[in-house]
Amino acid sequence: MKSGFIQNGCFLLLTFVTGLFYFCFYMVALSFSLGLSLIGIGIPLFTRVLRTTTTFIQFERTQTKIYTDITTAPYDKKITTDASIWVHAKLELTDRRNWLAVFWLMQKLVIGLVSLVSVAVLYLTPVAFLLAPILYRYIDMNVIFMQVDTFAKSLLIMVLGAVLAAISVKLSERLAKTFGGYTRTMIQQLDR
């Protein structure tokens, strides 16, 4: 399945949104749980927060498959035990895969920020350039070192916008595949 230009843009924006969510969720939840662990309530809460990694990684797998057609191996890290909640909490807290998953998911914020900037450059810039013959009359347009103040210059910028749009189609597909590959790498690292 070949990903489309709009689909790649949606994936890049979704990468930013999920990266921001994971970072905020784990910063707040782990800090709150750590604070409450001093009175004992936080340890079960801490383990519940760590259990969310499986759900979030499965979501990453699904979104990567839908938007980029990159298939990854399933990730399942269930710890089954009939022990008490405290023994189960100890198993969750000492499982290095939980902490690696949190690290990989929080690190997605950096990728998300790059995705957001990429969307602005690859999607908004060509559109603004293509609309230069209309926009130059209403806003002050400066492209590189040239002020767009005549119709001829705006046509030149419009042609540049068409070239940028053609380049953006290829670059957005490559970026989506690269960022989709992050999920595959994450799961491979966690399965070691």
How does DSSP classify residue 147? Answer: E
How many domains does the chain divide into?
1
Containing domain of residue 147, as a range?
5-190
Please count the CA atoms within 13 angstroms of the CA of 115 that sit on its side-chain side.
26
Q: What is the C-alpha to C-alpha distance for residues 152 and 149, in angstroms, rounded to an integer? A: 9
Q: What is the pLDDT of residues 131-178, one digit of tens each?
A: 999 988 888 888 888 888 889 999 999 999 999 999 999 999 999 999
Contact 64, 184 (CB under 8 A): yes
pLDDT values of the chain reduced to their tens digit, one per residue, 192 residues: 345 889 999 999 999 999 999 999 999 999 998 888 888 788 888 888 888 898 999 999 999 999 988 888 777 766 555 667 777 777 777 888 888 999 999 999 999 999 999 999 999 999 999 999 998 888 888 888 888 888 999 999 999 999 999 999 999 999 999 999 998 899 888 887
pTM metric for this prediction: 0.84
Candidates 180, 135, 178, 179; CA nearest to 157 is: 135
Helix then strand then coil, % of the chain, to nearest 5: 80, 5, 20
Candidates 44, 73, 37; CA nearest to 57 is: 73
Quick one: tokens of 90?
A: 């100890």
